[in-house]
């Protein structure tokens, strides 16, 4: 007697090339999805290792030796710790997990190895949502399950070879069938007030505007096309030249940087008219406290305070999407009276920096005397007529940065112009300061809101004029008026010609409506909104027990509906059973009738004894039927068609009594 194979022997059954190729495809998809989160040298190394293993497995089956795997594991651990400083956390954890997934492929030779690898790949696939939960990334993660499901399907016995497209289609159907249950779980699974584990912010996360500005450090923001603010107005939106969103007001200049100092002192504002603008801002996370407001805010929203110079600071950093209501003045006089200390601070300049710029400012003061407005216009005329150009890639500046900019390079963007203008004003004896924030935006008529992107970041100046207080002056507009009237992309000119394409901009801005819905309806669906989910049904605050009971009832109903649909579909559309019944009818006409309690194997065996001349043909039909019925979850289409054709062509010759 031959003993049955042990469990270990069954689990060590070698896999075919098709299964390994699909597993490699799944692993490559996971690596590609995480490529942007990994250092470039690790991306290249893991991609080369994956490609080598795929090529080596096609040449000769077998595991990679341990003497090679163990050093690779040690090198991976050492590389992650050296680069990140630890293997714990979002970035190092993801890098280590992807590396382990590639190394797992080196020892994959059995069906058990494939199943373990697929489980690990699905986990690594979901970790991509720790970095980005946007709609596009979520869809890509869902599509990443298709090769994983195709790999598991390829492990089923007696699978016939299929094209890649046909291998992926069943998984797409499974994902579609799982959507209702996923929606039910999304709505009713009780949400925690805090996550199960911390997800630290990336070390180089984009934070939008900074409380420090130096000419040149806006470059990354000006090329960042992601949404920063979405602003909804109660009525008609303000014209483009009034869409200045104040963030930081910077007084202190050290020759290189302008710095914001957070003070409680609030500058008085005198409203020249009772008309104000009311609006609502939906702000993306910045991990900072500043809340940009339309210039100039008259009050702070709930959970924030109005600080020095009408800068609005939240009580805590904005780490999640935030929506707040605001109110700003249209016509005003900001700080009509300037104290001695404020005047000295607004005229302060570092000693030993930019001597040519200081000399030019003093020359203007001597020429125009006490006419501050004439000095301001002379500076703007210098930028307009002095050969200056607007560019997002200006030449680097030296120690005397403003001198280099004003008298040598004469090229730059808003940071350069606002900084140089403010230095010139102070040199001429006019109190001045730098203001940073956002300017412009795209009015989305479909969504009825103003879309402000990070690329709309801007810097301008404020000068103090007697009888008028602090007055906004935008020196960049003297060089490029399009920056104010048409936006940052228009100001860049030929540098971003592709960006200004009307069709492309319309597509991008309309797509933002979908992103806004996704952010508010899906990502922003928190515990508070979940508790109010049943308000239309008379339940104001749905507690955990209520949500759990509804989830259990909904799950049972969903399973019952799915099971009933599957049974009805199997009975109504069972081509294998229909082919067997056709064969039974042919045999019944010759006297071989199937008994009520007789299974297909016994019935076809009895028919073979009754028809000795067709015994081999009936035995073949019996083997095919049993394999198609019991060896697969779903019979392969090619084999099913062969059985249907054989049953249809079968003809009874004679019956022996």
What amino acid positions are annotated as catalytic residues?
A: 414, 458, 474
Contact (CB, 8 A) for 160 and 634:
no
DSSP per residue, 131-178: T---HHHHHHHHHTHHHHHHHHHHTSTTPPP--HHHHHHHHHHHHHHH
How buried is 87 (Cβ within 10 angstroms: 0-12 exposed, 13-18 middle, 19+ buried)?
Answer: middle
Q: Is 24 helix (H, G, I), strand (E, B) or coil?
A: helix
- End-to-end alpha-carbon separation of the chain, Å? 38
Q: Is 261 helix (H, G, I), strand (E, B) or coil?
A: coil
Q: Is the sign of the CA dihedral 32, 36, 40, 42 positive or negative?
A: negative
Instruction: Give the distance, in angstroms, between the CA of residue 471 and the centroid of all CA atoms in the same chain.
Output: 40
Contact (CB, 8 A) for 315 and 302:
no
The dihedrals phi and psi of 144, each to the nearest 5 degrees, come to: -65, -15
Q: Is the sign of the CA dihedral 396, 399, 401, 407 positive or negative?
A: negative
| Angle of helix 145-154 versus helix 17-34 axis, rounded to 10 | 160
Q: Look at phi and psi of residue 558 and say left if phi exceeds 0, alpha if psi is from -120 to 50, else beta.
A: alpha
Residue 459: beta bridge partners? Answer: 436
How buried is 128 (Cβ within 10 angstroms: 0-12 exposed, 13-18 middle, 19+ buried)?
Answer: buried
Q: How far apart are CA 146 and CA 290, in angstroms?
A: 43
Pick from 370, 372, 297, 380: nearest CA to 332: 297
């Amino acid at each position: 007697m031959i003993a049955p194979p042990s469990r270990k022997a069954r689990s060590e059954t070698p896999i075919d090339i098709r299964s390994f190729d699909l597993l490699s495809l799944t692993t490559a998809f996971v690596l590609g999805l995480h490529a942007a989160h990994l250092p470039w040298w690790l991306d290249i190394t893991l991609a080369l290792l994956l490609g080598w293993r795929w090529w080596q497995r096609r040449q000769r089956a077998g595991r990679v030796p341990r003497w090679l795997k163990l050093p690779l594991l040690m090198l991976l651990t050492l590389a992650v710790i050296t680069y990140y400083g630890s293997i714990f956390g979002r970035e190092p954890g993801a890098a280590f997990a992807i590396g382990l997934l590639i190394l797992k492929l080196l020892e994959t030779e059995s069906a058990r190895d494939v199943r373990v690898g697929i489980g690990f790949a699905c986990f690594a696939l979901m970790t991509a949502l720790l970095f980005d939960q946007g709609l596009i990334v979520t869809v890509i993660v869902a599509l990443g399950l298709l090769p994983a499901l195709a790999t598991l399907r390829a492990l089923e016995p007696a699978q016939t070879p299929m094209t890649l497209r046909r291998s992926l289609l069943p998984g797409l159907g499974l994902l579609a069938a799982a959507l209702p249950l996923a929606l039910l779980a999304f709505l009713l699974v009780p949400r925690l007030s805090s996550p199960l584990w911390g997800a630290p912010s990336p070390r180089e996360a984009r934070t939008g505007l900074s409380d420090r500005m130096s000419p040149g450090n806006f470059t990354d923001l000006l090329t960042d096309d992601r949404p920063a603010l979405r602003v909804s107005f109660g009525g008609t939106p303000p014209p483009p030249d009034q869409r200045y969103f104040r963030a930081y007001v910077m007084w202190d200049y050290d020759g290189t940087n302008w710095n914001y100092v957070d003070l409680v002192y609030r500058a008085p504002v005198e409203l020249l008219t009772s008309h104000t603008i009311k609006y609502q801002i939906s702000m993306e996370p910045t991990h900072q406290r500043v809340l940009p407001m339309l210039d100039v805010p008259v009050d702070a929203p709930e959970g924030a305070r109005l600080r020095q110079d009408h800068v609005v600071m939240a009580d805590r950093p904005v780490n999640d999407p935030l929506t707040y209501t605001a109110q700003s003045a249209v016509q005003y006089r900001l700080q009509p009276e300037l104290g001695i200390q404020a005047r000295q601070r607004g005229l302060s300049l570092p000693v030993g920096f930019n001597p040519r710029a200081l000399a030019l400012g003093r020359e203007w003061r001597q020429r125009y005397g006490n006419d501050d407005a004439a000095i301001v216009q002379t500076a703007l005329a210098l930028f307009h007529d002095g050969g200056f150009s607007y560019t997002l890639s200006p030449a680097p500046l030296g120690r005397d940065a403003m001198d280099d900019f004003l008298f040598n390079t004469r090229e730059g963007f808003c940071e350069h112009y606002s900084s140089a203008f403010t230095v010139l004003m102070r040199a001429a004896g006019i109190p001045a300061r730098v203001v940073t924030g956002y300017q412009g935006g795209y009015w989305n008529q479909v969504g009825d809101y103003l879309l402000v992107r990070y690329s709309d970041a801007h810097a301008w100046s404020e000068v103090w004029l007697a009888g008028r207080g602090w007055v906004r002056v935008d020196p960049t507009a003297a060089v490029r008026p399009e920056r104010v009237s048409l936006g940052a992309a228009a100001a860049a000119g030929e540098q971003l010609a592709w960006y200004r394409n009307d069709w492309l901009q319309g597509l991008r801005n309309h797509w933002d409506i979908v992103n806004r819905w996704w952010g508010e309806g899906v990502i922003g669906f928190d515990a508070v909104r979940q508790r109010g989910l049943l308000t239309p049904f008379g339940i104001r605050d749905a507690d955990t027990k209520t949500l759990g009971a509804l989830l259990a009832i909904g799950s049972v109903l969903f399973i019952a509906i799915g099971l009933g649909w599957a049974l009805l579909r199997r009975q109504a559309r069972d081509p294998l059973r229909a082919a067997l019944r056709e064969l039974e009818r042919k045999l019944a006409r010759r006297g071989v009738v199937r008994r009520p309690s007789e299974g297909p194997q016994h019935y076809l065996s009895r028919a073979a004894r009754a028809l000795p001349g067709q015994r081999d043909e009936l035995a073949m039909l019996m083997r095919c039927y049993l394999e198609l019925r019991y060896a697969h979850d779903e019979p392969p289409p090619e084999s099913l068609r062969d059985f249907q054709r054989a049953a249809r062509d079968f003809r009874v010759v004679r019956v022996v009594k």
